Structure 1
Amino acid sequence: MLPFLKKNPPAQPSAASALPVIEPIGADVDTRPFRVTDPHYIAMALQALADDGDLVCLHPSAGEPSLPGRITEVRPQAGQFVVEIEVKGARAPQPQPGSVLLVAMPLGIALQLRTSGHWADTLPGAPLQLVAALPDHIIHLQRRRFPRLETPLGQPFRAEFMLYGETFSMGVDDVSIGGLGLRASAHEGRLLMPSQQLRRVRVELGHGATPLVVDLEVRSRRAFRSFLAGEQLHFGCRFLDLTPADHGELQLRLDRLDAERTRAAPPRLG
């Protein structure tokens, strides 16, 4: 099950109880590196939620039950966006006006913001619509704290680990001092989900580099199609508790990769 995602308890049925509740990001998560204040990025992120029809969850501040819905419209010039509450059966109760926390999980990655707005006048029996103000910031856990370097072709960059009694070997697409990007076929990556922790992963970082044995946490998962390999999955992972020795070895390897990339770059004209 994805992080922050759990089913409503069956003992508390409601108009929208058939839909999942997306829980807010935990208070123990340091969200400062993932704070986004760029208005253009914010509008684009909300528009992507609308375009993809991603489920969002409204958590009213007054203590009313959470409400699942979808963003149906983003109005950057007006500084607004519209959330339509998903209704199954009877019309959902209208919460008291005030600030709400909105949480979504696009591609399994938490996106969270706080906003306020007003309930639009709708016809009887129609879903509720919240006309909300575009926030001055959002929290998007996908943003990276460290720059990542793409791994070169023709060298052994792989990660091997055990999971559920099976041995997995995945390609390393990119690497940073904070984590790795892993690549696998749709079948090979079927068991990996965001928030999952991988223990004692053996990571090869090219010719002549000492393999590292590290713990990883899967932070993101996205699908893409390769012309040669077909359906593929990319997993963004972060290191858990690197030892000083592993940190130093990783930094040396990153420095070598950066130097190799600089040497391989075509000369600039002019």
Structure 2
Amino acid sequence: MDETDFQPGSGPEPDDLQFEIEQAEDYSQYLLHSKAEIVAALRSLIQRRALVSAYIDPGRGFLLTSLLNLEADTGTLLLDWGRDDEINRQALSATQLILSAEVDKVKVQFTLSNLLETRLGGRPAFLAALPDKVLRLQRREYFRLSTPIAKPVKFVTTIKRVDGSTLIAEASLLDISGGGVGLMATPSLAALLPSGTVLSDCKMTLPDEGLLVGKLCVRNKFDVTTRGGARYVRVGCEFLNLPGARMSMVQRYITRIERERKARLSGMS
């Protein structure tokens, strides 16, 4: 669910939410670092009067705000004052705030710290320094599709061992997005895939689409235990320089599977 859907007293608590901007290794290609790009991204939120959710340190709650003004010359940002004075005080004393908004299916996230109280037009407001990075992520890029169990996507690649020998490795995809894939790997296979490993010849057969060939970089690994007690490792991999035609293949596959899934659910209702 999107952060802006959260309402106090229902759904996950704020500290259960995950933010892409905190997963720099997975989303580095979507981070803006130049001041000009950061200013442009934030000004778009001002122009669209976007609602922004500001999360106060881990587990300390959140407030709904909006960006009021931006001064590129002084490197400052003004934000609207929240409705709850206690939450406003927490925001002023917070070590860090994570801010998240979505406009036209583009997610924008950034962090702020050391907020100050100021006034704008006679009303209280927050004053902050411009962030040093902003994440800008389109929905089609961050939507992650769990691959169908009935039609698994097979993954094959060649791994080079430390001694110079090679191994043909096979796995199934757990999920796929425009940014990469999640592999269902045995612990022994995962041990051969440390973070940062580049797999230059990866082949995935997408049902009804064809053979997808690309280069992947291992970004993270998580141990998983199923309800039945089986264990495997989810190996998260990022696409590296995937050509546009192959990216279109991924998007067609995701769109079709999601459409089929919704049709089945609609037929069951």
TM-score by length of 1: 0.49
Which structure carries more helix by proportion? 2
Larger relative contact order (Cα-Cα within 8 Å, sequence gap ≥ 6): 1
TM-score normalised per structure 2: 0.49
